[in-house]
A and B are shown apart, each in its own frame.
Chain A
Amino acid sequence: MPSVKRLMQEANPVRNDRVESEERAETRLAELLGSRPAEFERPPARRRTLVWGLAAAAVVVVGVGVAGAIVLRDPAPPAMSDQPFYRDTAELEENAEAIVRATVSATRTVTADGITETVATVSVGKVAKGDPKPGSSIEIAYSSTGPEQAEGIRKGGEYVLLLQSRDATTWNLVNTTQGYYTVAGGELTPTVDNTVALSAAVTSSLGVS
């Protein structure tokens, strides 16, 4: 049987290699911005404020015209994030099916159906939550391409991992920002974009601070 990816792509009703009308798209863009974007010059700061004040006012006027036709909720997630985040400690720990302190013993890259992932084999030291047993080895899979990579995970590194079960043998990180904390000298370091700390109960049971 051909791969699922190939079958699906062959049956795609609007193919992604279709050539769109760039001219029409640029015209629409120019209409939105009120002039051709390629010709924009950056005005001095004070004038810029005035220009954007006027632009904002113009958009509000246009917006009033369409507001009656379209009722929208603000889409989730917040515009600043491209990946779901857990907002606080309780939510993060609740969404993890397992929380373990573990050392990465090996990594390998696997590609299936066009998706490339890194699979890390980790030796579990301590367990704060979930099924993994201390002294066992488990496998963690995460994307090797695109924005959702767990770039800080390295062979030989020690981490506290927050996991969700993928299947009988493999686990996923809850997300690639909050799914791991680096352990060094018994202290935890979250990833740069992660402001959520783990609870005292979890850090205590894992022997970290």
Chain B
Amino acid sequence: MGNDPPEQGFTDLYRANHGRVLRFVARRVGEEAEAEDLTAEVFRIAWDKSVRGEVLTPAWLFVTARHVLSNHRRSVQRGDFAYRRLAVTSPGGQPAGETADLVSEVLEQLPEAQRDVLVHRYWDDLGASEIAALTGLSVSAVWVRLHRARQAFKRSFKAITEVGHAKR
């Protein structure tokens, strides 16, 4: 790819990752039009770098998306965990209901680092190297954190469902 013109590599990167970045952003802003604008900003920055000869990775896109979101939140004075306020929907557009409520409750109870690694892995569908780029951890440390987060999630989920059953 080294001798390809920048538009070729950029177009490949864009087409392979535009949807992923858009969904990543949409989970955190909750409004589709806003998400599309911010995603466009991510790729505008990427294009700028591509023209200057930099070879970009999907991981770089997500790190940049996080910076763009961070700047956007500062400009609208919004909190960091907008994704928790999103209406959770099933594939058919219907509310996912009890499971979504339970998962939200469990996530709220987890430490931020564990919550983030679970969201990155299972909602954002990021690979370990992409999560590593976002978190500054090594890839192996990402796996460790993910393992511990899953254990913590299971403990919390069990505790919450047991309390729920006891109340009935």
Spell out A's residues near B (CB within 8 Å).
Answer: 1, 4-5, 7-18, 20, 24-25, 28-29, 32-33, 37, 40, 42, 48, 52, 55-56, 59, 62-63, 66, 69-73, 75-77, 79-84, 95, 113, 115, 117, 141-143, 146-148, 164-167, 172-176, 179
A residues near B64, Cβ cutoff 8 Å: 72, 75
Residues from chain B with a CB closer than 8 A to the CB of A56 are 51-52
Q: Which residues of A contact B41 (CB under 8 A)?
A: 66, 70
Nearest-CB residue, chain A, relative to B83? A13
- What is the bound-complex CA distance between A40 and B146, given in angstroms? 43
B93 to chain A minimum Cβ distance, whole angstroms, is 10
Check B71 against A70 for contact (C-beta < 8 Å): yes
Docked complex Cα distance between A37 and B64 (Å): 23
Question: Of B36, B48, B59, which is within 8 A of A77 by CB?
Answer: B59
Instruction: List 24 contacting pairs A-B, 8 Å CB cutoff, sorted by A.
Output: A1-B157, A1-B161, A7-B157, A8-B118, A11-B88, A11-B96, A11-B99, A13-B86, A13-B88, A14-B23, A15-B89, A16-B23, A28-B18, A28-B36, A33-B11, A33-B47, A56-B51, A56-B52, A76-B133, A83-B139, A84-B137, A166-B140, A166-B143, A166-B147
How far, in angstroms, from A81 to B43 measured CA to CA in the complex? Answer: 19
Complex Cα distance, B122 from A147, in Å, reads: 18
- Nearest to B36 among chain A residues (CB) is A24
Known: A37-B11, A75-B133, A84-B132. A4 touches B153 (CB 8 A): yes
List of A residues within 8 angstroms of B137 by Cβ: 84
Q: Give every chain A residue within 8 A of B15 (Cβ-Cβ).
A: 25, 29
Q: Which 5 A-B pairs have the closest CB atoms?
A: A172-B140, A75-B63, A8-B122, A11-B103, A13-B86
